[in-house]
Structure 1
């Protein structure tokens, strides 16, 4: 992974869906990507697997509920890595 915002990439797998976050994303865009299934309406939460994101700082588990303090901390961490100048 690169260290500058133009090429920073964060990868993850949440509820069986692989994704890559890159570029200057807002905290809402990050939250919508990490918790995509909450607004899906057709997808039941499957707790048989661990949902994770890989950042420059390591691997972080994605909490089931996007409204927890842990979820807010994760969104801020991801945003800081993608947008270090903000």
Structure 2
């Protein structure tokens, strides 16, 4: 898991899946990728075979940003999840 500042890319491991977040993503797109198991009702999640996936907190879900490593909370509606979303968005979109 690393952050490549030259290409504005953040990587992580969430629910056992390697994820990559790239510059230009909206907050909703970032939220969808960080909490993909919660998007079981969307077509894209069903196409990936993630429909009905339950959150398993036995593994540590983390992303690596320029500021360090952050744990991805299981509930995307908690305050710490919103703060993480804002931080990731700011790093991916530094010109905004």
TM-score normalised by length of structure 2: 0.81
Q: CA deviation at 1:39?
A: 1.8
Q: CA RMSD in A?
A: 1.0
Matches within 5 A, 1:15-34: 15-34=15-34
From 29, 39, 54, the equivalent of 1:44 is 54
Segments of 4+ moved more than 6 angstroms? none
List gaps (5 residues or longer) in structure 2.
41-50
Deviations 1:11-67 (A, max 9, x none): 011111111111211100000000000122321211110100000110000011000
TM-score, normalised by the number of residues in structure 1? 0.90
Count how many residue pairs are aligned between Structure 1 and Structure 2. 83
Q: Alignment partner of 1:64: what SS? A: coil
Unmatched 5+ residue regions in structure 1? Answer: none
